[in-house]
Amino acid sequence: MHARIAPLQAPYPAAIEAAFARIMPPGLPPLMIFRTAARSPRILDKMMAGNLLDRGSLERQDRELVILRACALCGAEYEWGVHVAAFAAKVGLSAAQVADSTRADCDATLWSPRQQRLLRLVDSLHANYRVDAGLWTELAAEFSEEQLLELLMLCGQYHQIAMLVNALELAPEAMAPRFPTASSLVT
């Protein structure tokens, strides 16, 4: 599979090189998503400006769970795989939890009550673009207003990224795992 828009190839213009240096760990080449977005420096800049991977108000594990679930629901294997490779183990998500994040019906025994609420939040936003009053009450008892806003924006941001990587038909990065193969996959 070839991406619909070819990723930018090195050598990169100085401004693009500087942008890549800000978003990639030292010594790692820029991801295909960033090299493709760099075809429009304005788009790359806006994409980086909207990035919620900084030290925000959420715990890193909560953030990654929301991202994995949103990517799985959208069938964004490219982005799901990048986050599994880069963050899942570092934030303490087990291999079973990572695989379960892609299943239509998550196994409640793998998740804490807090994580189950986060999964329900992403599922609700994906299905209805809303959060019912009962779930909102549960979330508000556990998360601050700042965290609730971040959760909503994070879910929306990764739906946007899913649209981008799926529409561009980006092939998985070499270091990124693929979705588990099972009949119960969300996608």
The model's pLDDT over 171-184, given as tens digits with 9 standing for 90+, comes to 999 999 999 976 56
Each residue's pLDDT tens digit, 119-149 = 999 999 999 999 999 999 999 999 999 999 9
Distance, CA of 95 to chain centre: 17
Give domain limits for the chain.
14-49, 60-168
Which pLDDT score is estimated for 184? 62
**Global pTM?**
0.93
Assigned CATH class of 60-168 = mainly alpha
Please report which confidence band the pLDDT of residue 48 belongs to, taking 50, 70 and 90 as the band edges.
Answer: confident
